[in-house]
Amino acid sequence: MHKNTSILIIYTGGTIGMKQNPETGALSPFNFEQIEQEVPELRKFGFDLHTYSFEPPIDSSDITPDFWVSLAKIIEQNYTKYNGFVILHGTDTMSFTASALSFMLEGLDKPVVLTGSQLPIGMLRTDGKENLISAVEIAAAQQNGQPMVPEVTIFFENRLYRGNRTTKHNAEHFNAFRSDNYPFLAEAGITIKYNFPFIHYTTGKQDLRIHTKLDSSIGVLKLFPGITPEIVKAVTESKGVKAIVIETFGSGNALSRQWFLDIISEAVKNNIIILNVTQCKAGSVDMDKYDNGLKLKNIGVVSGYDITFEAAIAKLMFLMGKGFYGEKLAKELTKSISGEITLH
């Protein structure tokens, strides 16, 4: 770890950037330019730390694709100046942002680590300090002059995950995130141990290229027992929808009622891509496994394999933003762009 390592900490908003007024108990954002005063432990690294704050801070429930574009541009503008980037972000949509950035930052060969906290950094039992300190250490970590983890990740509660494999699974506990279909990339204990076989390394020198066109013309259809034709049509016939994520049961199964298959088939004929993502947090879509899944495959529904819902949304926005629609989009969805799916 080099003392002349430079890290840019980007504060977007979220719980981690709050401190408590000792008199009123109210929470308010603190000045991130004084981050080393709030977290003096950071000084011990001896890194050259700089901060960038979104004004005003953004509640992560209000995140939009335009915000992702702003983030990508900040990284692009500062890419040659820093060895790594730490993004402080509200937990609610952190997995969406990490997934989107993993697609938008083509040729990335530096760490981009997202983190946050469940308790504000100014509170006594905060998880924010530990998350921030470890995220900075990981963003700065090098071996033989090369970054340890040159991809978009999320660090939370002692573990580093590939960003586009995560989902927030707990609103109360410190271990808020999981990556059920891909191993963690590092674990922080007394030392930080890296899971090297599962970290993505670029081959050869690549220049960063950001993608700023995103198309959010996406519908979401979550299946449940008793769903009606009217509900399904409300999604498939929604004006302007170009792709639909269908959240299915188990290994990609749906009801086999003819009315349902007819509606989905009609949507496919209208050039709407239907991406099959399981409601299960772990495991993969396999439409060949059961007859109910096979019926979806036969009418042109595309397998999402083991993709998370968050990554599915971000991947569709990214690919449609690049101009892929219809059959071309279906083909691109079955490729792994940045390690977001496991292809068997």
**Which pLDDT belongs to residue 147?**
96
38/292: higher pLDDT: 292
**Which pLDDT belongs to residue 32?**
72
Same fold, 6-210 and 218-333: yes
The Cα–Cα gap between 106 and 119 comes to: 33
Hey, what CATH topology would domain 218-333 get? Rossmann fold (3.40.50)
Q: Is the pLDDT of residue 1 over 60?
A: no
Name the pTM for this structure: 0.95
Question: What average pLDDT score do residues 147-168 get?
Answer: 97
Is 153 assigned a catalytic role?
Answer: no
Sequence ranges of the domains in the chain = 6-210, 218-333
**Which pLDDT belongs to residue 334?**
96
209-235: per-residue pLDDT in tens?
999 999 999 999 999 999 999 999 999
Which one from 15, 97, 115, 167 is the annotated catalytic residue?
15
- The answer to whether the Cα torsion of 120, 122, 126, 131 is positive or negative is positive
**Which pLDDT belongs to residue 122?**
73
Class level of CATH domain 6-210:
alpha beta
Burial class (CB in 10 A: 0-12, 13-18, 19+), 22: exposed
**Which pLDDT belongs to residue 38?**
78
Q: Model confidence at 171, in pLDDT bands (50, 70, 90)?
A: confident
Mean pLDDT over the full length of the chain: 93
Q: Model confidence at 129, in pLDDT bands (50, 70, 90)?
A: confident
In eight-state DSSP terms, residue 191 is S
The Cα–Cα gap between 9 and 7 comes to: 6
219/169: higher pLDDT: 219
Q: Is the pLDDT of residue 20 over 80?
A: no
**Which pLDDT belongs to residue 39?**
86
**Which pLDDT belongs to residue 165?**
98
